[in-house]
Structure formats: structure tokens, C-alpha cells
Structure 1
Amino acid sequence: MIKSILVILVILFSSNVMILDSYQTHISAPIITSDQFSYKAGEDIIISGWVNYNDEPTSDVLLRVTATNPNGIKIFDEYTISNTNGEFSISIPIPVDEQTGNYFLQVISQCREIHRQVCTHQYESLSISVEGVPNQNTIPEWIKNNVKWWADGIIDDKQFVGGIEFLINQGILVVPPTAISDDQSDEIPDWIKNNGKWWAEGIISDDEFLNNIQFLIANGILSVSSVLDSELQTFAGKFNDADFVHRVSGTASIEFTPDRGGTLHFDENFETTHGPDLHVYLATDTSANDFVSVGQIESFGGEQSYSISSDVDLEKYDNVLIWCEAFSMLFGHAELK
């Protein structure tokens, strides 16, 4: 009887040792070899590599591949298997309208078929940057705001033409050189404002608006000769937080001509901590001892624009500040370059 019990114990001990040995030994680890870390929205992220088992590539390893967007939302969760050479490759589609930023990817080993009940799930992670793809044929929203302000009499003709200058310089509005004449009038007829207002309100399309502007230029109704001859200045900078409480993100940019002024534009990624009485300043530094106010902030987030008069020296006032006037406090700034 005692001998039988000893035999059973030896068998059980041997089985446990075998299982423990399998658990410790049969560990397959994915190794990512992809060397591209930046993609454009609309492209497929390609993740490739091999599976390491005892310092050798191993086949038939089930791998789980996941991808999480900058908001922490999982957008991809699929499986692949290492091939006969121990290698793997998988494509992760990123839609054009998907959020830009850093994506977190993981490749998790589920181990070979014969070991999946006893193995440890090894993994490797990777961070991929996804950038947006600008549509060169799309009119920026701040141009539409400019046209609306012009139609409502908030900004003058020079600032309106400054927006047309931007469209020409960006290739969005194409003007034949033969259509530009020094004999064109500097006066813009009032009825053009109706056309601009219809476009700003969505009554007519972008194409109709551009075609109408092109027609006006070609027929000498709208003068752009001085626009094309003037020097366009462009400035841009990314926002930085003032501290861990007062935070601002996004990009500020300016299109400016000394004779016509320009527009300060915040992109769609702009976001600031909420606060009372926030204003937008152009300043010499972050202390706001010497600044030009361009207005109270329109929104705590999203695309927006502000008119800049032609007498502002942007070489001097090269910092954009988000400033709380109620408490004389900086929320964030962007240095223009």
C-alpha cells in the first residue's frame, strides 16, 4: 500500500515538473523589425517582425495585434500566425478621417499550437505617429470667416483681398497672368459682398465662389495686381503649456502682408484650459508687458481666426499668448517663426 502511494506521488511529481518545465521553456516572444514610425492618415501601418523561441525563429505562433488611437480607443484587434521562417507581417488600415497623433501598437504572442495551454504571453509594443493629409483644394475655414466679416463690414477691403491673396499663393485660386492689369479698379463693388455672404452661409459652393472671384479678377472688377506684387509673410508655431494646470495645445499661424495686414489662425487641434476673460495677444515675450490684443478668445477649442492690422510689427510681436485678463495669468503661448 505504502509502495503504491509512493509510486503515485512520484508520477504526480514528475508530471508537475514536466508541466512546469514546459511552462518555463515554451515561451515565444515577438520581435518587431518595422523601421517606419510615421504615417499619413489614409495609409496602412505595416507591422512586421519575427518570433523568437530559444534565440531561433519559430513558426506556427499565433499573434494578437492591437492598435489604440490617441484617445485610448482600440481601433484594431486581429490575429496572424508566423510563417515557416518564423516571420510575420500585418497591415493596420488608418482611415483618412481618423484622429492624428500617436498610436499605441502591441504584438502579443499566443505561443505555438502545442504549447498554448501552458505558455506565457510575451509581447512587444510600438508607438506610431499618424499625421493628417492637408487637402490643397480645400478653402481654410478662416478664409470663410474673413469673407463673412468683410460682408458684414467688420473688416475692410484690404483684409478681404488679403484672403484672396492667400488662395492665390496656395494655388487654390488660379489666376491667369494676362488677367491682371494695372488698369483695374481699387474699388470693390458692394454687390460682390452679397456673393461672399452667400458662400459664407453655405448657399453657394466653394467651386462657385472661386469661379466667381476668378471671373471678377479676369474682368477687371477685382484688383489683385498689388496682391501678387506684395511680399507675403508667413509665421507659425506650436502652443506650449504655461504650467501643468494652464494648458494650451495646437498650432498658430499667420498670413500677413505689410500693406494689407493679415490673419492669425488657430488650427483644428487648438485647445485651451477653460478660464474667465481669456484674450489672444501678440506679445514680445510671455510676460505680456508689451503686447497687441487681437481680441477675446472665440472658443476654448477648434479652428478660429483673428484679424491683424497692417501696422503690427510681427518681427517684434512674435509670441501668441492665451492670456487671462481677469487674473493677469498666462495659459499658454506659441513662438512664431
Structure 2
Amino acid sequence: MELKTALRAATAIAALAISPNITMAQDLESAPATGAEIFYSSDSDDTEIVRTAIDLDIVNRGEDRRYGIRLEKAWYDPSGTGKRERERVFLRAADVSGDWNWSALVGTDGDTIIGSAYVHDNSRWRKEAFIERDVVETPRGIDEGIYSTFVGAALDIPADENNIFTVLGGVQEFTGDNVRLHARANYVHVVDADLGLSGQLRTRYFHSTEPNEFDYYSPRWYAQVLPVVQMRRFVNRWELVGAVGVGLQRDATSDWRRSDFANLRVRSPRNDDDWQFHADLTYTNAPGDSAVSGSDYSYFQTRVGFMRRF
């Protein structure tokens, strides 16, 4: 969940700073749509997760305007302890109201409410609020029903057309007594707007009120400083994004150690038959909620999907 929030915030800020007038969303006539997505992740704790999803939109007018459902099947193998299967179903919606965009994916895994919701405006001083809730993907998290709910807000602070700062604050509550307080600050400098090239400095810190309460990675505090180089290009209307970062991280029980990050994303335009494709992959050695260990940790995820409008 922390990786998802960090990726969303960082890419939104970089996109706003480099290409404020370019968007992949299209204002189309209302039409139904269907799609599918496959997600896979693995880490050095021997945890593997596979999720397959089918999306059925009753109304679809582009990426920012759609209403439908998502049916999902998930297979969890936390720390190599054997597969657990879950079925998940969501209502999904996104729309524009005045200067504000909002999106929601709200559903259940049969035990409790899960999903996410976001709202942001389209001003240069971009403001965003979000909430995310999901199961903690560790052996005890899956078997005992340990969940995490993350609520927060972010603000972009533009210095000029080539420099932008963002700050994010959030509260993450876990099943049990642990509450995690998050603070993040990013700086983006546009090196070359025509190339879509930016240099970024991403920093984050969290503090846990009940460290090591269950089996997920949860030190008393964690800090990361991550310089990143990102390029975002449009080639024949295909969106291509690549980012790589090398920095430092530490927590309450360790010294400073290297922190690595890499992300690649591709999104196609809609072709004449209304097909659209997207894919991404991410590598990091920063422990997230699904981690059990903290040191010598590594994580990889990939996602591939398509959509077809009728």
C-alpha cells in the first residue's frame, strides 16, 4: 500500500511539472467497456502474489469518467507458507466535477470493506486527498485478517515552471493497536521539458506507535532519502515513463543502507477499434507492508492490462 501511494504521488507531480497540457484521458461519448488486468509480485521473503481482474464498465467516457464493477481473484503465498485464495469484488467509478477529479474502487474480500478513493483538483497548486484499505499480505495478515487503512492528503507547491515541491501527510491504522504517522516531501526539477526529463528528490518518514505488533515490517521509525531521474515521453501518442533512483534508508534498528528504485510504465492511445493497453514494472528494496524482514529486502511487481470500449 505504501508503494502504491508513493508511486501515485511521485508520478502525478512529475507529470504536472513536465507536461501540464498533455493528458491521456479522452472525453468520449458514453459507451460500455470491458477490460482485464494481471498483477504479479514477489519479494525476498519468498512472498508471491497473483491477482487477476475483469473490469465491466456500464459507462465509459475515458479514463477520468467511468462507472462499473471489478471482479478479482487473488492468490497469496506469504513467506512461502502455501497458497491462499481470495475472491474480491469492487464497484469502480471516476468522474469530473468542476475543477475536481475523483475516483473510487470500493468493495469487499468477503470479510470487510477494502479499496481506495482519491480526489484532486486541476490547479497548479494541486491538492489531493486519498484513502486506501487492504489486507496486510503476510502469513498472519492473511490468516488472521490484519488490515491497514491509510488516509492522507498532498499539496503541490510550485516555485516556478521548472521547480515544484510537494508535501504529504497521512495516518495509517492497522488492525490491533499500531498507528503509523507518515510525512513525505518531494522536490522535482524539470531538466528538459521537451525531453520530459526531470530530476527528483523523494524523502519519506514514518513513525509506528506499536512497533513489531504482528509479523509485518514495522520498526519504531523509518526514513528514506531517494534521488530519482525520470523521463516521460509521448511517442505516436504512446506514453512511456522510466524512472531510476539510488539513495539511502534506515530505521530504528539499523544504520544507513542503500535504497534502490526503478519503474517502467507504458500506456497506449486508443486505436481505431477502441482498444487500449497498459503495463508497468517496479523494483525496490524499501520494505513495504507486505515485508516481514527489513534488511536485505527486495521487491518486484508487474501489472499488465487492456480495455476495450464498445
Higher relative contact order (CA 8 A, sep 6+): 2
Coarse TM-score class (shorter-chain normalised): under 0.3
Relative to its length, the structure with more strand (as a share) is: 2
TM-score (norm 1): 0.21
TM-score, normalisation: structure 2: 0.22
Pick the structure with greater CA Rg.
1
More helix by share: 1
